[in-house]
A and B are shown apart, each in its own frame.
Chain A
Amino acid sequence: MSIESSKGWEPKIIVFACNWCSYAAADLAGLNHLDYPADVRIIRTPCSGRMDPLFVMRAFNRGADGVLLSG
């Protein structure tokens, strides 16, 4: 499932981000045009409290290379 790129293999990292803090922070990084690797895919959650271990297991089970919870 890794990302295809001219530079070869790139990992795919699933991020679960709380709408009120981390997701907003990721938006802020965008507003400031702070460059970071394109390997992350952010899923918005209403709160990090919404996180279920199930989602993490599911992501790894389906082949994610990394999972980041932030909230």
Chain B
Amino acid sequence: MRKRVGVFVCECGTNIAATVNTEKVAEYASTLPGVAYATTYKYMCSDPGQELIRASIAEHELEQVVVASCSPRMHENTFRRAVEAGGINPYMFEMVNIREQNSWVHHDKQLATSKAMDLVRMAVSKVLKNQPLQKSTIPITKKAMVIGGGIAGMQAALDIAEAGYQVILLEREASIGGKMAQLDKTFPTMDCAA
């Protein structure tokens, strides 16, 4: 695998840029070993931001991508798809959290910028060790089992069955109905439970 990392630093409007000097982070990133291209953008997750990633992959023949922006718990899948659309394996990608775990919790611009640089360096080092991964698929038995034949089980079974799937409604007593069958009228409408 060739080492051609692209680093994309997101400003997130001013969410990141107000505390982290993103220009300086991108500039620093471009000096790291293996990095072929580094840039900043106002909103990486927006359509033009994702387009920038796709175009840059082609233009700079990138093999690995690092995005420094918000938490991966937020947009990891977004960027994986963008990277894949750019023609490289979606797992040749790492994300750096410089918003939730940096710009939003620190005030000192110098410290926050230095932290962002460290985190970008960390991600670049990791992404260089990444291997392409393939999602595998497993077959699905399209039949459900509902354990318990009370009101919850009956409702779930009926809804699944209505959608066209086979359901086994299992009950340990000899009749379905559960506790509800023991009830008289039910609140608040006082209609019959059976």
CB-based nearest A residue for B71: A27
A42:B105 contact, CB within 8 angstroms: no
The count of residues in chain B whose C-beta lies closer than 8 Å to any C-beta of chain A is 22
B110:A6 contact, CB within 8 angstroms: yes
* Residues on the B chain within 8 Å of A65, using CB: none
A27:B73 contact, CB within 8 angstroms: yes
B residues contacting A by CB (< 8 A) are: 71-74, 97, 99-102, 104-108, 110-112, 114-115, 118-119, 122
A24:B73 contact, CB within 8 angstroms: yes
Taking the complex as formed, is A29 at the interface, i.e. its CB lies under 8 A from any CB of chain B? yes
B contact face: mostly helix, strand, loop, or mixed: helix
Contact of B115 among A23, A29, A41, A44 (CB under 8 A): A41
Tell me which residues from 1 to 55 in chain A have a Cβ below 8 Å from any Cβ of chain B: 3-6, 10, 19, 23-24, 26-27, 29-31, 33-38, 41-44
- Known A30-B71, A34-B105, A35-B105; 5 more pairs at CB < 8 Å: A26-B100, A30-B105, A38-B102, A38-B114, A41-B122
A31:B110 contact, CB within 8 angstroms: no
B100:A38 contact, CB within 8 angstroms: no
